[in-house]
Each structure stands twice: as structure tokens, then as C-alpha cells.
Copies of this chain bind each other. A is one copy, B any other.
């Protein structure tokens, strides 16, 4: 195991001072051409690899972003992260990822570790952002962005869609198709990642069209999984007076719902129309394809990174909260009633 080559070693070999060698690798203009070449040659010959840790210590920045995420194995969040990455990589930034399962304790621990590793900024995604987290971010003056959260904070930046309006659109569409018995499978009761807003959007649409929101037509899930959608949908379809249209607050749930209908021999969209939320890739390929609300998650990631960069570079961004447009995608699972 041979000692790693340091910049002093390079400088010595090139016959210059460390300062000069440092200036060369940092593209500082005031280095004469011949010395520059000698240093670059030495770097080549010695296979020098800069030590980013030492650089970070002196520069007091790491070019690393900390990303808190409920679960990396969830397509929604993974796409957001990919959007962040594709913007951050060209700038030389990397990121540390942590799956927190939206658990506040894990989130606190993650943030603590990220601070210890001196990340330059933090991306927060969570179903429930604890107030202490926001306080912590504010107190420590940490560059941070809340992503896909419906939380609004006077100073902490956030990126999301208008979940309430999006849900409204989905339900209004079902109503426009002629459905009056419209049910909903929602996410957890106090979900801050848009779940509550979606439920309100459903209520808005029903109310505005003079339709009653029946007690047992609102099924609250404990999460957004296939299984939950499957179970809640079965419950709805086995009611004495089942709904003819169902809005599920997430595509994983909606697909679980389609599966449930299939098992019960209930045809979609002939017997029941189904609308999801998120527009996951599989939704287009399910049979029947799933009508759903698109969340531009890749762009959400990019927009969030843009906001974070603004904070890191000390610029004031144009706005604190960015709301991106959603889009209702009409597919087979909700075709017009005859």
C-alpha cells in the first residue's frame, strides 16, 4: 500500500512551490505557461488525485447535498431524485441519500449525520415534516428545500403541485362523465405530502356539484401501497351500494384497486371508473391503462435543486414556494359511461 501522492509532491517534482501547483489545478490565471505545463505533466506522471476532503476542510464547503426521502424504492421519489441529480451532477455536486420512512426520529438522525458531514444543503421529502425540523433548519440557517410537500413556510423554500386543485380536477372529471356515486381512497389522515389536500379537493368537487360525500365512500389508507389500495377498493366494491367512480390518491393504490376489481369480476371502466394520482410509468401499461393526474416529478427535482443552488450561492430566489402545473391524463380506466 503506497502512500498517496500529495500536491506538495507534485509541486516538488515540477520544481515549483505548492502555491503555484494549487493555482494550476484551480485554473487561477496568474501562472506562467511553462510552469503550468510542468505541473500538469507532474500530475500526469505521478497520477495525482486531489483530496477533496482536505479541500473541503479549507474551503468550508463540500459540494454535497443531503437528501432525505421516505423510501428510495418508491418510484415517485426516485424520479424526483433523478431530476435533482441530473441538475446537480454537471455542477460537480453529489448527494447523500437517506431513506427515513417518514419517521421523525430517523429524519433527525439523518440530518444530524448530514450536518456532521458538512453538506452544503438539504432536500427534505417526507410525509410528515416535524415542526422541530423546520425550526432546526431555520436556526442553523441551513440551505434547504421542502419537496413534494404541501407545507408552506414563510422562509423555507418548497416545491410542489397544487394537490387540492389536481384532486378537484380528477373528481370533477368523473362527475362530468356522469358519475354521481363517486368514492375516494385517500392517504393517511395527517399526510403533509399532499394527501390532505387531495381529500379536500375531492370534497370541493363533490360539494360544488351538489353531490353528497357519504361516510363510507371515503376510505382512509394508512399508506399509499398497492395492498392498501387493493383492500380499500374491495371494501368499496362490496358495499351494498357501491360507487361507480373511484378516485385513489396514488397510483400504487389505484393499481391495487384495479386488481381488486379484476378479482371481483367487476369490469373497469364499464362497471366502475378508476382515477389515480401521480402517473407512474406502469399506469400507462396496465390493462386497462390508468387515468391519473400527472405530477411532474422529474421537474420538481430540478426546480428544487435550482432553488437550493440559489440559497447556497447566497442569491435570493424569485419565490419561496414554487407550484408546478399538474395534468389530468385520460386513459382507459375511466372511459365515458354509455
Q: A residues engaging B (CB < 8 A)?
A: 1, 49-54, 56-57, 62, 64, 71-75, 78-79, 81-82, 85-86, 89, 92, 94-99, 113-118, 141, 226, 230, 255-256, 258-259, 262-263, 281-282, 284-287, 289
The minimal Cβ–Cβ distance linking A270 to chain B, given in whole angstroms, is 15
Contact (Cβ within 8 A) B78 A72: yes
Chain B residue contacts of A259, Cβ below 8 A = 285-287, 289
Question: Which single member of B57, B82, B117 contacts A57 (CB below 8 Å)?
Answer: B57
Contact (Cβ within 8 A) B117 A94: yes
Question: Which single member of B52, B99, B117 contacts A85 (CB below 8 Å)?
Answer: B99
Contact (Cβ within 8 A) B73 A141: no
The minimal Cβ–Cβ distance linking A25 to chain B, given in whole angstroms, is 11
Chain B residue contacts of A95, Cβ below 8 A = 96-97
Chain B residue contacts of A262, Cβ below 8 A = 287
Question: Which single member of B64, B86, B99 contacts A96 (CB below 8 Å)?
Answer: B64
Chain B residue contacts of A81, Cβ below 8 A = 72-73, 97
The minimal Cβ–Cβ distance linking A72 to chain B, given in whole angstroms, is 5
Contact (Cβ within 8 A) B49 A116: yes
- Most B CB within 10 A of own CB, among A54, A56, A226: A56
Contact (Cβ within 8 A) A73 B75: yes
Can you report 27 A-B residue pairs in the complex whose CB atoms are below 8 A from each other?
A: A1-B141, A50-B116, A51-B116, A52-B118, A53-B56, A53-B118, A54-B57, A57-B57, A64-B96, A64-B117, A72-B85, A73-B75, A74-B78, A85-B99, A94-B97, A95-B96, A95-B97, A96-B96, A226-B281, A226-B285, A230-B285, A255-B285, A258-B287, A259-B285, A259-B286, A259-B289, A282-B282
Residue of B nearest to A89 (CB): B98
Chain B residue contacts of A114, Cβ below 8 A = 94
> Please, how many angstroms separate the alpha-carbon atoms of A115 and B114 in the complex?
19
Contact (Cβ within 8 A) B72 A75: no
Question: Which single member of B97, B141, B256 contacts A285 (CB below 8 Å)?
Answer: B256
Chain B residue contacts of A73, Cβ below 8 A = 75, 78-79, 81-82
Given contacts A52-B118, A78-B78, A97-B97, 18 further A-B contacts (CB under 8 A): A51-B57, A51-B116, A53-B117, A53-B118, A72-B81, A72-B85, A73-B75, A73-B79, A73-B82, A74-B78, A86-B99, A94-B98, A94-B113, A226-B281, A226-B282, A256-B285, A259-B289, A286-B286
- Most B CB within 10 A of own CB, among A99, A259, A284, A287: A287
Chain B residue contacts of A289, Cβ below 8 A = 259
Chain B residue contacts of A62, Cβ below 8 A = 53
